[in-house]
Amino acid sequence: MSSHGSAIGKAPASLRIKDTGFRLVMLSCLGLSVLLLGLLLYDVVADGAARLDWDFVTSFGSISADKAGAQAALWGTVAIMLVCAIFIVPVGVATAIYLEEYADNTRWWNRLIEVNIQNLAAVPSIVYGILGLAFLVRGPLSLGPVVLAGGLTLGLLVLPVVIIAAREAIRAVPSSIREGSLALGATQWQTIRRQVLPASIPGVATGVILALSRAIGETAPLIVVGAATVIAFNPDGLDSRFTALPIQIFDWISRPSNDVNDY
Amino acid sequence: MEAASTAAGARAVPKLGAARRRYGEDLIKGLLILATLLSVLTTTGILIALLVPTIDFFGDVGVWEFLSGGKWTPLFEPPSFGVRPLVVGTFLTTGIAMLVATPLGLGAAIYLSEYARPRVRKAIKPVLEILAGVPTIVFGYFALTFFTPEILRSLLSVEVSIFNVLAAGIVMGFMIVPTVASVAEDAMSSVPQSLREGAFGLGASKLHVSLRVVFPAALSGIVAAVVLGVSRAIGETMIVLIAAGQIASNSVDPREPHYSLASFIGATAKGDVPTGSTEYKTIFAVGMLLFVITLVMNLVSIRFVRKYRQVYE
């Protein structure tokens, strides 16, 4: 290297120090975020590990903290997640198929639908709670604060996640597969059902899991919809009242310092 | 085949497409359109759900009184419905969150896009996604039971009340870091390699390439990332509700408790407010304001994302 002379040499020391410094600052930005995640996990495990046993999972809420359990909330969460999954999979995939395989992108209404879905993905979750309250719990459907209303509200909330992931999965299927199928005389729907959908299943599944993992932790919309806080029975149907794990957590946190949360 | 049988060689074009109309295909297309329309219906539903009670609310309380009033005391007698304290709380928590999320998120994005080896990037991205996937109620719990007492009070010895805006804002900022980092990293990664090579060829250091070439070239995506982060912070309910307490004041002291627009809706919806009362309708009026603010943010963000996609794709 030194034989090349001074034209191509090492950068001046001051610049190299700056360069390394910058790199370290950028790295510490990343490190700080990961550190906070570590702290959060430590805090949750340290506070929670001692209380997590079989009794906690199998008993209902109680006035005394060491007897309180989360059975109703656990089954409530399972119930609303089932409703949510059954709702978002067909509707989300159907929307993605329409937008990717049928819709003409030059039409303004199809572009409007796309912008609309992108916006829906970023609407605050509590606003979906208001939607659920106005149309599902009261108003036209008047279901009351039951499993069906809670599950559908969360379903509407995470539907854009499924649609966006499913669209990407469908777009990733090579068009040669479609053309081959069409050339063999298959109709458009036959092509979609037998070729495109099977090829896009992994991407769709990722989207559904992401959507459910977001829905399972949502608290705010369920509060607005009116999920019960103190309840001593498991949901036994779509029209049963329910509570859910996030709601249970919120209820326990917001009790003014009793022995349920001594911090 | 038919062309061969016509005598004068005037070739008939063979007909492509289905021999008969397939009504099943039309039916399926119809069903798919119905599913798609549900998303339009959702937006319409949100608008109706917010607008109708809001108009009703403005029958009881003047629009101007709501938007410009500085006192929010719906439960007092006589009640006062000036929304400014809630807006102050929202922008205070959002501001603190973005002071944390913008540098950390963009720094992480620059590191991942410009410095990290592919293997490191592959290992780190899922960790950030876990951070993004932690339920907000857990962040709220963490802010209240760990960040305020252990970090703010003990470690940094800041005199804060147990419910305070500072902890809620900072923890919310960390919650938003992955959102900002991932959108910004997308934008930086889609800057063509040739731009970097050109700069390196002219003798630029990595620092200069990152800050003076990649950063400006990806600017519209970076703006989109930050605006999306702001939109999430404004709409966040649980962290603020749990960690920032429930007081509607005009104070801008981050060590004090404060309501935000979203946390007020959450707190009021949880309580036993009689349906149809003016106080009940505040949920919807405040919700409308929240929806409009985030709608504007989202549209700006979508616009900027589209801009950088157009340039480099």
Here the ipTM equals 0.86
Structure tokens at B129: 């996604």
Residue A237 confidence (pLDDT) = 82
- Is residue B203 situated within a structural domain? yes
- Is residue B4 situated within a structural domain? no
Do residues B250 and B298 share a domain? yes
Task: Please give the Cα distance from A101 to A187 (Å, whole number).
Answer: 13
- Is residue B144 situated within a structural domain? yes
For an interface test with B, which of A45, A51, A91, A127 has the most B Cβ atoms less than 10 Å from its Cβ?
Answer: A127
Task: Please give the Cα distance from B313 to B149 (Å, whole number).
Answer: 49
Do residues B161 and B245 make contact, with C-beta atoms less than 8 angstroms apart? Answer: yes
User: Is B50 part of the contact surface with chain A (CB cutoff 8 Å)?
Assistant: yes
Instruction: Spell out which residues of chain A touch residue B140, defining contact as CB-CB under 8 Å.
Output: 253
Do residues B36 and B148 share a domain? no
Name the residue in chain B with its Cα closest to that of A210.
Answer: B133
A22–B45 CB contact, under 8 Å: no
Burial class (CB in 10 A: 0-12, 13-18, 19+), B89: buried
Residue A263 confidence (pLDDT) = 40
Instruction: Spell out which residues of chain B touch residue A113, defining contact as CB-CB under 8 Å.
Output: 36, 39-40
Q: Judge whether residue B2 has pLDDT over 90.
A: no
B107–A29 CB contact, under 8 Å: yes
Residues 23-52 of chain A whose Cβ lies under 8 A from any Cβ of chain B:
23, 25-30, 32-34, 36-37, 39-40, 43-44, 47
Instruction: Spell out which residues of chain B touch residue A103, defining contact as CB-CB under 8 Å.
Output: 36
Instruction: Spell out which residues of chain B touch residue A19, defining contact as CB-CB under 8 Å.
Output: 205-207
Do residues B96 and B37 share a domain? no
Q: For residue range A133-158, list pLDDT tens digits in order.
A: 999 988 888 888 899 999 999 999 99
B2: closest CA of chain A, how far (Å): 20
Do residues B96 and B165 share a domain? yes
> B206: domain CATH number?
1.10.3720.10
Do residues B156 and B275 share a domain? yes
Name the residue in chain B with its Cα closest to that of A186.
Answer: B18
Sequence-separated (6 or more) residues with CB below 8 Å from residue B274: B280
Task: Please give the Cα distance from A256 to A242 (Å, whole number).
Answer: 23
A40–B18 CB contact, under 8 Å: no
- Is residue B69 situated within a structural domain? no
- Is residue B105 situated within a structural domain? yes
Q: For residue range B141-191, list pLDDT tens digits in order.
A: 999 989 988 888 888 888 888 899 999 999 999 999 999 999 899 899 989
**Backbone angles phi and psi of B78, in degrees to 5:** -80, 145
Do residues B43 and A115 make contact, with C-beta atoms less than 8 angstroms apart? Answer: no
Tokens 């109703």 belong to which residue?
A72
Sequence-separated (6 or more) residues with CB below 8 Å from residue B186: B221
Q: For residue range B74-114, list pLDDT tens digits in order.
A: 877 788 888 899 999 999 999 999 999 999 999 999 999 99
Q: For residue range B289-308, list pLDDT tens digits in order.
A: 999 999 998 898 888 878 76
- Is residue B111 situated within a structural domain? yes
Show the domain range for B197: 80-312
Examine the fold and report which residue of B6, B31, B60 is the final residue of a domain before the chain moves on.
Answer: B60
How many CB pairs lie under 8 A apart between chains A and B?
239
- DSSP assignment letter at B299: H
Task: Please give the Cα distance from A222 to A226 (Å, whole number).
Answer: 6
The structure's pTM equals 0.87
In DSSP notation, A108-151 reads HHHHHHHHHHHHHTTS-HHHHHHHIIIIIISTTT---SBHHHHH
Residues 61-90 of chain A whose Cβ lies under 8 A from any Cβ of chain B:
90
**Backbone angles phi and psi of B72, in degrees to 5:** -115, 95
Do residues B151 and B235 share a domain? yes
Do residues B177 and B105 make contact, with C-beta atoms less than 8 angstroms apart? Answer: yes
For B192, other C-beta atoms within 10 Å of its C-beta total: 11
User: Is A218 part of the contact surface with chain B (CB cutoff 8 Å)?
Assistant: yes
Instruction: Spell out which residues of chain B touch residue A33, defining contact as CB-CB under 8 Å.
Output: 104, 108, 128, 131, 174, 177-178, 181
Do residues B133 and B176 share a domain? yes
Q: How many structural domains is chain B composed of?
A: 2
Q: Judge whether residue A262 has pLDDT over 50.
A: no
Do residues B143 and B95 share a domain? yes
Do residues B222 and B268 share a domain? yes
- Computed over every residue of chain B, the mean pLDDT equals 87
Do residues B176 and B209 share a domain? yes
User: Which residues partner with A241 through β-bridges?
Assistant: A146
Residue A261 confidence (pLDDT) = 46
